[in-house]
Amino acid sequence: MSLKFRVIQVKSGLSTNKGKIIFRAQQERTPLISLDDLAREVAEDNTLSSFEVKGVLEKLVSTVIRHAGYGHRVSLGELGVIQPQIRGKFSQSREEFNTRTHITSVFPRFNPTRALREAFNSVTVEQVVEDEQCKKPRGKSKPDHPAFEDPSEKKPKEEGGGTDNAD
């Protein structure tokens, strides 16, 4: 699978090229894998139901959010670490530094593990040609995998065993 992108024209906001027309790659939007999708896929490989897996994943999310609110770093194993990060402005001296003025925000930062970063080394990129883009249907799409099939869309199995004779 490759990441698809288009080359788009934009007006530069950088000081060196301010106002000039430049071109850059814009990544095409990919399907969103929901928590339900992940739960179904994880449930395929063990004895838990997708509802049980989803419950565990939801608890994981709420627990990570709670710890992040306390300012803790949270390890997600082979995925990486989520930690709060401060964004701020400079001051001319230590005495001039004011928290309200110089700390502008706190935001989540994700530091992936080496294994996760290396997994992205095999991802290829592919430019979308305008003709292909016009043919491509817009809207939500899911990867072609049994875990991403909507159970409500499955057709019921036809069962045999009945007789057609009317007495």
Residues 25-57: pLDDT tens digits?
888 887 878 889 989 999 998 899 999 999 999
Nearest alpha-carbon partner for 23 in 4, 38, 10, 34: 10
The model's confidence at residue 63, banded by pLDDT at 50, 70 and 90, is very high
What residues contact residue 90 under an 8 Å CB cut-off, 6+ apart? 102
pLDDT tens digit string along 103-162? 999 999 999 999 999 998 989 999 988 764 455 555 555 566 555 566 555 555 444 444
pTM for this predicted structure:
0.63
Higher pLDDT, 163 or 53: 53
Average pLDDT over residues 66-80: 91
Distance, in Å, from the CA atom of 39 to the CA atom of 59, rounded to the nearest integer, reads 12
Query: Which phi and psi angles does 58 have, rounded to 5°?
Result: -65, -40
Fold of 2-12+20-148: HU Protein; Chain A (4.10.520)
Average pLDDT over residues 9-32: 83
Distance, in Å, from the CA atom of 45 to the CA atom of 150, rounded to the nearest integer, reads 18
pLDDT value at 14 more than 80: no
